[in-house]
Amino acid sequence: MTDHNVTSRRAFLDRRRVAARAAFDDGASRYDLVWGDSGTSHLRAVADLVQATPPGGEILDAACGTGRYWEILAASGRSVFGIDQSAGMLDVAQAKHPGVPYRELALQDLVTATDLHARFHGLMCVDAMEWVGREDWPVVLDGFHRVLRPGGWAYLAIEIPEDKDIELLAGPIPEEQVRGEIVGDGGFYAYFPQAEEIADWLAEAGFSAHSEHSGDGYRHLLLQSTASPNAR
């Protein structure tokens, strides 16, 4: 890829992030009415993460949205810290759970948030990785690894494309896009990596797979942070 294409591609991804943030800010007050219910497979994965982390441990909810899982985490005896790039979503989360600390921060920026590095016993990123572009996946996973304590645990929900998505993905690739991306109206964006790519990126970031199940349209991965020499 030429320098021009790299620059153009970066600009495309940055525009998608701006559009997504604006869409979530605009829809924050209505979000729970539409998406407030959690699937049973999501709840099972959250329970698995809780079980893997020590009582009293701290869990980072990355791309926390409206804090849908904060009550469950707090009831388990774990403390929660939330980050999200949408100020509107964080406002709703804080109104629901005023005692939970949070920060307006994008997933891509965790890698440079040095004050959070090696802090958390666990991390969860639910229904958000599909908004991350191909080039940013390794950056985000590196950030996840950095904020976890050695041996810490992570739960990632990875969206499975539906039939309508598969139809779109089979068509021509628009300019500035890569295979696996869908761009829609109202700030919508989704990227569906191949399973093999995800496995490679996880290993390179320093994660080992512990368990996986599927349900509610997602793969639910429970991972452990390792001292992999491939990390970084």
In a domain, 53, yes or no: yes
Q: Where are the beta strands (DSSP E) in the chain?
A: 58-62, 79-84, 102-104, 120-125, 148-159, 181-183, 189-191, 207-215, 218-225
In a domain, 34, yes or no: yes
In a domain, 168, yes or no: yes
Residue 65: is it exposed, middle or buried by C-beta count within 10 angstroms (0-12/13-18/19+)? Answer: buried
What pTM, to 2 d.p., does this model score? 0.95
Residue 75, Cβ neighbours under 10 Å: how many? Answer: 9
Could you read off the pLDDT of 61-116 as tens digits, one per residue?
A: 999 999 999 999 999 999 999 999 999 999 999 999 999 999 999 999 999 999 99
- Cβ 147 vs Cβ 113: under 8 Å: yes
Domain count along the chain:
1
Residue 217 has pLDDT above 90, yes or no: yes
In a domain, 110, yes or no: yes
CATH code (residue 50) = 3.40.50.150
Bridging pattern class, strands 218-225 and 148-159: antiparallel
In a domain, 126, yes or no: yes
